[in-house]
């Protein structure tokens, strides 16, 4: 008989080992998936994980890693603060979209004017847009006790319809010959999020992501707010006795995560993406949930996990082009990572006992 017995304290060893084991199991399961699709699993895994770093054109692909990782770092860092406190913002994708729309609206509103102030205003608008969108589930939670999980998730679909409406209506390029989508912001110098150092792939979104990691680390390690977040997540009743206001914490955590998601959207629409289009959102808000848990809700871990996930995006694109793998297979591959991580996380809080006795062999 196999039983799960709760550990007196979470196992630090398993907490560190489970992300690595989850990646290994994902490779094995992904290889089986690719084999079922008629592809050589070893070639597919090598194409996804090795070729972007050491293969042909590796220099270009390596420069794209921070570009792909930056929005994931920004979103996941904000989500991790709430997740640590038991506040579940599942709608970062919607906040990402609204932040992009608000930032793009400012840039397009100034077109074709030139001025140093335009891009900073776009940054502020993007953060504010994501913040206000996150305030909807936050205020409903603290006022009426509604679930922030359901409200934030449902708002993603509202944001997607708003995106389609803007791409086909108010933000549609008047010189675009009737095609949906806005003007290309990356070709409008005053509103473009261009590379800071040409050839490196580093733009202002990457810098913002690194700043977010540093600030989150300082808050969690040195600031009273970080202490309140951790205590609330571990022992909500003890946190209330310590004077933590749960409603205030909900507003702060959802507000910060929304603002960071909005920033990610703004930097993406003004840089790598360039335009407001119907298919602008590519699921960064949902992928960031995987990144947050893979990084153990720790800022440095999130940075490393985002680079790994960015590698799967880039390698997956190469595999689609060279091996003919369907894009759905790459998405399933990424989803497996979260599945195995959550499954193995059981071992962090529980030990496996064999037999019916209390003292027989355990793992």
Phi-psi region for residue 285, left (φ > 0), alpha (ψ -120 to 50) or beta? alpha
- Region 258-286: mean pLDDT is 94
In angstroms, the CA 179 to CA 317 distance is 26
The per-residue pLDDT for range 234-245, each reduced to its tens digit, is 888 888 888 889
Share of the chain above pLDDT 70, in %: 98
Output the furthest CA–CA distance in the chain (Å, rounded).
77
Domain presence at residue 100: yes
The per-residue pLDDT for range 204-240, each reduced to its tens digit, is 999 999 999 999 999 999 999 999 999 998 888 888 8
- Domain coverage including residue 252: 69-194+204-301
3-12, 101-110, 130-139, 187-196: which range is least confident on average?
3-12
In angstroms, the CA 108 to CA 61 distance is 31
**Residue 359 in this model has a pLDDT that exceeds 80:** no
Cα 231 to Cα 8, 58, 212, 227, 243, distances in angstroms: 17, 44, 22, 6, 11
- Region 307-311: mean pLDDT is 94
Measured in degrees and rounded to the nearest 5, phi and psi for residue 39 equal -110, 150
> What tokens does 302 get?
């999130």
The pLDDT, as a whole number, for residue 142 is 95
Contact in structure between 272 and 252 (CB atoms under 8 Å) = no
Contact in structure between 266 and 281 (CB atoms under 8 Å) = no
Contact in structure between 260 and 68 (CB atoms under 8 Å) = no
Using DSSP, state whether 39 is helix, strand or coil: coil
Secondary structure letter of residue 362 according to DSSP: B
In angstroms, the CA 218 to CA 300 distance is 11
- My answer on whether omega of the bond before 112 falls inside 30° of 0, hence cis, is yes
Place 363 in a pLDDT band, splitting at 50, 70 and 90: low
Domain presence at residue 242: yes
The pLDDT, as a whole number, for residue 346 is 86
Cα angle 100, 101, 106; round to 5: 100
Greater pLDDT, 349 or 99: 99
The pLDDT, as a whole number, for residue 356 is 60
The pLDDT, as a whole number, for residue 60 is 83
Domain presence at residue 48: no
Domain presence at residue 18: no
The per-residue pLDDT for range 37-74, each reduced to its tens digit, is 999 999 999 999 999 998 888 888 888 899 999 999 99
Domain presence at residue 16: no
Looking at every residue in the chain, the average pLDDT score rounds to 91
> What tokens does 225 get?
């707010």
Domain presence at residue 327: no
Tally of domains within the chain:
1
Q: What's the number of CA atoms in the CB half-sphere (13 Å) around residue 357?
A: 4
**Residue 112 in this model has a pLDDT that exceeds 60:** yes
Residue 264 CB contacts under 8 Å (≥ 6 apart), including other chains: 70, 71, 74, 75, 96, 99, 205, 284
The pTM of the full predicted model, rounded to 2 decimals, is: 0.92
**Residue 110 in this model has a pLDDT that exceeds 50:** yes
Contact in structure between 65 and 51 (CB atoms under 8 Å) = no
Domain presence at residue 17: no
């Amino acid at each position: 008989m196999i039983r799960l017995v709760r550990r007196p304290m979470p196992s630090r060893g398993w907490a560190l080992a489970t992300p690595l084991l989850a990646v290994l199991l994902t490779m094995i399961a992904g290889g089986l998936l690719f084999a079922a699709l008629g592809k050589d699993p070893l070639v597919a895994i090598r194409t996804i994980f090795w070729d972007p770093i050491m293969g042909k054109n590796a220099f270009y692909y390596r420069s794209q890693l921070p570009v792909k990782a930056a929005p994931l770092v920004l979103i996941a860092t904000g989500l991790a603060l709430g997740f640590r406190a038991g506040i579940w913002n599942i709608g970062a994708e919607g906040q990402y979209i609204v932040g992009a729309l608000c930032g793009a609206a400012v840039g397009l509103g100034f077109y074709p004017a030139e001025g140093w102030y335009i891009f900073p205003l776009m940054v502020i608008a993007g953060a504010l847009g994501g913040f206000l969108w996150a305030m909807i589930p936050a205020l409903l939670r603290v006022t009426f006790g509604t679930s922030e999980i359901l409200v934030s998730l449902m708002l993603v679909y509202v944001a997607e319809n708003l995106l389609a409406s803007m791409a086909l209506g108010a933000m549609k390029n008047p010189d675009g010959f009737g095609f949906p989508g806005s003007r290309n912001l990356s070709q409008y110098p005053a509103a473009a999020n261009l590379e800071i150092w040409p050839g490196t792939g580093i733009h202002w979104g990457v810098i913002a992501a690194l700043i977010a990691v540093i600030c989150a680390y300082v808050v969690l390690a040195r600031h009273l707010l970080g202490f309140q977040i951790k205590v609330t997540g571990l022992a909500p009743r003890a946190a209330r006795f310590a004077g933590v206001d749960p409603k205030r914490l909900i507003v702060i955590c959802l507000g910060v995560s929304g603002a960071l998601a909005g920033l990610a959207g703004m930097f993406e629409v003004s840089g790598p993406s360039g335009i407001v289009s119907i298919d602008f959102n590519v699921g960064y808000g949902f992928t960031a949930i995987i990144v947050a848990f893979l990084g153990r809700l720790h800022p440095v871990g999130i940075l490393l996990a985002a680079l790994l996930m960015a590698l799967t995006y880039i390698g997956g694109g190469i595999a689609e082009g060279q091996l003919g793998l369907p894009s759905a297979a790459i998405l399933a591959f990424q989803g497996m990572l979260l599945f195995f991580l959550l499954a193995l996380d059981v071992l962090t809080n529980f030990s496996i006992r064999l037999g019916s006795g209390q003292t027989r062999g355990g793992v």
